[in-house]
Each structure stands twice: as C-alpha cells, then as structure tokens.
Structure 1
Amino acid sequence: MTFEEYVLTRGPALLRLARLLVDDVHRADDLVQDTLVRVYPRWAKILRTDQPDLYVRRVLVNVNASWWRRRSSREVPAVFDVDVWPGAGDHGAPVAERVALWDKVRALPGKQRAVIALRYYEDLDDDRIAQILGCSRATVRTHAMRALAAMRVELHELEGTSR
C-alpha cells in the first residue's frame, strides 16, 4: 500500500479521531497534517511493521500531547460551536443528549479522553489502546474507569438539577 492509498482510505478515520481528541475542527485538520508529515518519510519502515494504523494513531496521539506542551499553543476556542455537529438544526432530545455527553467527554483529562475516543469511537480493544498510548492494559482500564465514573457523576448531578 502506498502512502497516498493509505491517506485516501484511512484519512477520514484519522480526522475523526483527531476531532475527538482536540474538539476543534481546524486544529484537528492541523493535527492530522502534522501527523502525516511526520510519518511520510518513514512510510516504508512503517509498512514493514504490518501495523501502520497502530503506528499512525500513536503518532497522532503523541503529536496532540506535544502540541499542548508548546507555549505558543495555549489558545483555546472560547465557544463550542454546536452548529458544527451534523443535525444541529434539529433541537430535539437526541441532539441535546449528544451535545451534553460530548461536553462531558471534552471536560475529561487528555489521556482519559483519548481512551474514551479510542475505545468507543474507534472501537479498539485494551491491547491496541495500550500500544497506541504506550502504557499497560491496566492503565487503559483505569483511565476508562475513571473517565466513565466522572461522566456518571456529572450526568447524575445534571439530572438532579433538572428535576
């Protein structure tokens, strides 16, 4: 598989993962581009590992983490634009629930958000997630458990205030 074929077939999935990690459409585009720029020179070597998706996802997660370390990247969008979501014109209960859930995911720390995105949006198992994040399976399960617990608490508090 050539690099161009890989980008054509897996590019949308990489963009979706980046969007889930950074919560900004434009920064997600930049994140995918930075990732592809980094993997292109090593593409022949990456193909020999027989797991190009694993390697590219790991680079994507690492590039995202390093972006936050740079002092010049401390800008955060002030307002979450709900109009970016498909079907945002429909103000029905499913859309409101999806937006509320996404707000809870966005509030999670970076590693927990990465685990939730890789597990529930990319449908990866703990072994793959551990390889991508460079940690143990137990750490992946711990991050998932803590993320889900935090989201349950916030959703429970939200339900308590709406009664």
Structure 2
Amino acid sequence: MAVTALYSAHYRSLVRLAVLLVRDVASAEEVVQDAFVAIHGAWRRLRDPDKALAYLRQSVVNRSRSVLRHRAVVEKYAPKGLPDAPSAENGAIGELERTAVIEALRALPQRQREALVLRYYGDLSEAEIAHAMGISKGAVKSHTARGMASLRQVLEKFS
C-alpha cells in the first residue's frame, strides 16, 4: 500500500521536522501519526498521489501550529505557584536543546522558524514551503531572509 511506503520512507524525517516546530519528541510523534492517519483516510480522495508527501508536510506544519496554540492556552490558564520540576520531555530532547543553533531558532517568530526549518532542514523549494505554510513565495523569501539575519545576530554573540 502506498501509505505504508510513505510511512517507511518519510516517518523519521517528518518527526524531526515536527520536533523542530513543537520542541517535544512525544508531541512531534503524535503530530506525524495523526497526519498519516488523516492521509490514510483521505487517500481515495487525493487528486494526485504523487503530492502525498507535500500533503503530509503541510499537515505536519498545520498540526504543529495547533499543538503550539493549545500549549499557549494551557499555559495561560495553568495554576500559578506550582513547583518547577523538570519534565520528562526535557530529558528526551536535552541533546537537541544543547546547540546554540536550536536555541537561536527557538527565539525566532513562528513563521520565520517554520520557513527556515522547511528550507534548510526539509530542503524544500520556496514553492513547496509556500504551499506547506499557506503563504506566497514572496512571503517565504521575506521570512527566510529575516530569520537568517536574526540567527546571524544571535549566533555572533556566541562566537
């Protein structure tokens, strides 16, 4: 089955993409699993099966945005005064958080971070990024350029 082949070939790279967006391995795996479940259910309605990977990437980006929105709401209404205890997620992604690049990337606005992750990690073209993010190619260029300028400034401080 085509979905199984897609899963075998692209699951890990989609999880890595989601980790960079949601900053948490467990949530990233869930986002990717949900994207595969959705494409499996919609496979017969898919107009062009050759674009299934692009559909999956877009689904992962959109679902990652939803996870981040949900987190923001939960954090906003979380009870105050709870002791700060390290979470299990901190241990799972500790290695990723140790690099200056990841930290600098996290400091970027969401759209800039998404554009850079899709461009330099996902190795997507501007057109593919525009499609995945639901924006124009010009906006992709703008977000990418601004994100790179911000990263340079932050990383120069570490040098």
Range into which the TM-score falls when normalised by the shorter chain: 0.7 to 0.9
Asked if 1:84 is matched to 2:84, the reply is no
Question: Cα 1:138–1:64, aligned 2, differ >3 Å: closer, same or farther?
Answer: same
Aligned residues: 147
Asked if 1:42 is matched to 2:27, the reply is no
Do the aligned residues in 2 keep the contact of 1:46 with 1:55 (CA within 8 Å)?
no
Question: Cα 1:49–1:37, aligned 2, differ >3 Å: closer, same or farther?
Answer: closer
Question: Cα 1:16–1:47, aligned 2, differ >3 Å: closer, same or farther?
Answer: farther
1:17 aligns with 17
2:29 aligns with 29
Q: Structure 1: which 5+ residue stretches go unaligned?
A: 89-95
- d(CA) in 1 for partners of 2:127 and 2:28? 25
Give the C-alpha shift of residue 67 in structure 1: 2.0
1:93 aligns with none
- Counting only pairs closer than 5 Å after superposition, residues 63-142 of structure 1 correspond to structure 2 as 63-70=63-70, 71-72=73-74, 80-81=90-91, 83-85=94-96, 99-142=99-142
User: If the length of structure 1 is used for normalisation, what is the TM-score?
Assistant: 0.78
Residue type matched to 1:42 in 2?
A
Give the C-alpha shift of residue 15 in structure 1: 1.0
- d(CA) in 2 for partners of 1:42 and 1:72? 31
Give the C-alpha shift of residue 47 in structure 1: 6.2
- Counting only pairs closer than 5 Å after superposition, residues 147-158 of structure 1 correspond to structure 2 as 147-158=147-158
Task: After superposition, give the CA deviation of every residue in 1:89-148 in whole Å (9 maximum; x if it has no partner).
Answer: xxxxxxx7xx01111012112211111111111111111111111111110011011111
Structure 1 residue ranges, 4+ long, deviating more than 6 angstroms after superposition: none
Task: After superposition, give the CA deviation of every residue in 1:61-110 in whole Å (9 maximum; x if it has no partner).
Answer: 111112223334778x878556435xx9xxxxxxx7xx011110121122
Q: Structure 2: which 5+ residue stretches go unaligned?
A: 79-85
Task: After superposition, give the CA deviation of every residue in 1:17-67 in whole Å (9 maximum; x if it has no partner).
Answer: 111211211111111122222222102233635211111111111111122
Do the aligned residues in 2 keep the contact of 1:31 with 1:60 (CA within 8 Å)?
yes
